[in-house]
């Protein structure tokens, strides 16, 4: 359990209901940006022993610099135990050096967070070559929650006997978790990516004719994979295609591109504030923080 929740004003959509669910005070971190790009940060002058800091890491670079400053400042002000509540955890994709000389960002960001925080709670991090968040945070406690069952339940209520489809084989356990609790049909595609926006998708050998298909994934950024998959599904006779994702990054005109591709609905959790948010992560996060 925690004694206090700290958050930035752009996290209020999660911070206020989370603090209410935990029945703890919420205090805002004051932030002032100087013209030269530096930032002045201010915390409450006295902190209780058990503090959680809520910060999603979409658009992560400035936020990471602020966490680097704030974590030791919080300890100086009285926080003995410091937990980062990070609904979207960036830099998890690069979990190996794919070409010589590449920095393995997952490893190095994990080491930095482990130096700053006693524990990190996140949701559906992009972990494919490590089994748990504990491996990402050496010597610290890492907890990875999942919105997959919540999104599966939403899809079951808002589409007609939907078939859940993952964009690649790495998503198979996640899609299976979303589907099985609702007794839904499911499958995964095979994806080949040659660039940020260059994607080839092979559908599984399933009968999509007349089916309402929900493309379900952990994160959507450019939306290119989802667009290509939707087009292939319509070619195979799908009656409708919806999209459900945990982290709605949706950069640029991604949502407009999905609409042009024929996607009917876009649904997401509120890990990242977006017009598509339909599923709240507050109960998941509150239960995790209560358990300590």
**What residues act catalytically?**
191
**How many whole angstroms separate alpha carbon 172 and alpha carbon 85?**
26
Q: In Å, what is the CA distance from 271 to each residue of 8, 186, 227, 278?
A: 14, 24, 22, 11
Q: In Å, what is the CA distance from 6 to each residue of 43, 70, 168, 181, 208?
A: 8, 11, 37, 34, 47
Q: In Å, what is the CA distance from 88 to each residue of 6, 176, 236?
A: 17, 21, 34
**How many whole angstroms separate alpha carbon 181 and alpha carbon 149?**
7
The CA R_g of the chain, rounded to the nearest whole Å, is 20
Strand order in the sheet with 4-7: 26-28, 4-7, 50-54, 81-86, 119-123, 141-145
* Beta-sheet strands, E only, within the chain: 4-7, 26-28, 30-33, 39-42, 50-54, 81-86, 119-123, 141-145, 163-166, 185-188, 190-193, 199-202, 212-220, 240-248, 266-269, 277-279
Q: Is the distance from CB of 85 to CB of 52 less than 8 angstroms?
A: yes
List the structure tokens of 187: 């499958």
Going by C-beta distance under 8 Å and a sequence separation of 6 or more, which residues neighbour residue 108?
none
């Amino acid at each position: 359990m925690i004694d206090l929740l700290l958050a930035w004003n752009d996290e209020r959509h999660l911070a206020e209901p989370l603090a209410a669910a935990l029945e703890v005070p919420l205090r805002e971190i004051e932030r002032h940006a100087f013209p030269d790009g530096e930032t002045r940060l201010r915390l409450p002058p006295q902190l209780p022993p058990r503090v959680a800091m809520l910060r999603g890491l979409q658009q992560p670079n400035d936020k990471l610099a602020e966490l680097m400053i704030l974590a030791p400042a919080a300890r100086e002000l009285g926080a003995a135990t410091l937990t980062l509540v990070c609904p979207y955890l960036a830099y998890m994709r690069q979990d190996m050096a794919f070409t010589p000389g590449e920095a393995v960002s997952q490893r190095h960001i994990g080491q930095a967070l482990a130096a700053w925080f006693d524990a990190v709670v996140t949701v559906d991090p992009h972990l494919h070559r490590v089994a748990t968040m504990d491996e990402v945070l050496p010597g610290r406690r890492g907890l990875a929650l999942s919105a997959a069952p919540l999104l599966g339940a939403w899809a079951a209520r808002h589409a007609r006997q939907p078939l859940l489809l993952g964009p690649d084989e790495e998503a198979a356990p996640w899609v299976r978790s979303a589907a099985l609790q609702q007794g839904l049909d499911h499958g995964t595609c095979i994806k080949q990516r040659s660039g940020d926006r260059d994607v080839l998708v092979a559908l599984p050998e399933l009968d999509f004719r007349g089916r309402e298909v929900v493309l379900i994934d952990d994160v959507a950024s450019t939306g290119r994979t989802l667009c290509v998959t939707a087009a292939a599904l319509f070619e195979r006779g799908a009656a409708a295609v919806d999209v459900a994702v945990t982290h709605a990054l949706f950069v640029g005109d991604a949502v407009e591109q999905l609409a042009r591709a024929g996607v009917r609905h876009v649904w997401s959790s509120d890990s990242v504030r977006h017009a598509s948010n339909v599923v709240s992560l507050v109960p998941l996060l509150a239960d995790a923080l209560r358990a300590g």
